[in-house]
Amino acid sequence: EELVDRVYRFSKPTIAAVNGAAAAAGAALVTACDMAVAVPEARIGYPEMRRGIQAGMVLIHLMRLVGERHARFLVLTGELVTAGYAREMGLINEVVPRGELMATAMKWAASVAMNAPKAETITKALLEKFSAQAVSMKMAEYKEAPLLTDECRAGLEAFFEKRPAPWTL
């Protein structure tokens, strides 16, 4: 959660280049970046609850990007969606062939590098301020919630032991 928040609040623009599966924490990082590009084979999803982990802070960022209906679908089903569907809902900006993934990310980075540094810093701060108003209102409530429950411990143990979660038996 702290890493996701740091990526979201980073003073320089951030770009995610997704070349495979981005699930749980990986998907959260994609969600926190300013821009995201993916290959058609990429899959993005939030299956945390299958292991007893609350969706948590990613909800705030996810809802900001894709809206409540899509966010509910993503976190409640835990399904990994295609890059095309992620693009349709606003989770990523562009889907490109595998051979163009890094070239596209680097092209965006080169475009960002043309920004005047002070203007960029101020603009990033304004983006955070305006989009984060809802984030900051709910953040205190979220940080007080217990995250590592007994259910979560059991789900993670099952995951690492490569067996089904206890509630799916």
Confidence label for 43 from pLDDT (cuts 50, 70 and 90):
very high
Range 24-35 burial, b when 16+ CB lie within 10 A, else e: bebbbbbbbbbb
pTM for this one?
0.81
CA 43 to chain centre: 12
pLDDT at 137: 45
d(CA 64, CA 87): 15
Confidence label for 141 from pLDDT (cuts 50, 70 and 90):
low
Give long-range contacts, CB 8 A cutoff, 24+ apart: 18-25.
18/42, 18/44, 18/83, 18/92, 19/98, 19/101, 21/45, 21/80, 23/47, 23/80, 24/48, 24/53
CA 34 to chain centre: 10
Q: In which region does residue 163 sit, left (phi positive, over 0), alpha (psi from -120 to 50) or beta (all else)?
A: beta
* Mean pLDDT, rounded, for 16-39: 96
Q: Do 61 and 28 contact (CB within 8 A), yes or no?
A: yes
pLDDT at 142: 53
Q: Which amino acid would we find at residue 155?
A: G
Residue from 87, 95, 102 nearest 41 by CA = 95
* Mean pLDDT, rounded, for 11-32: 95
Q: Is 48 a catalytic residue?
A: yes
Other C-beta atoms closer than 10 Å to the C-beta of 10 total 14
Give the active site residue among 1, 48, 68, 128. 48
| Order of all β-strands in the sheet with 94-95 | 15-18, 35-38, 94-95
pLDDT mean across residues, the chain: 87
Confidence label for 17 from pLDDT (cuts 50, 70 and 90):
very high
144, pLDDT greater than 80: no
30 contacts: CB under 8 Å, gap ≥ 6 = 16, 18, 22, 36, 44, 91, 92
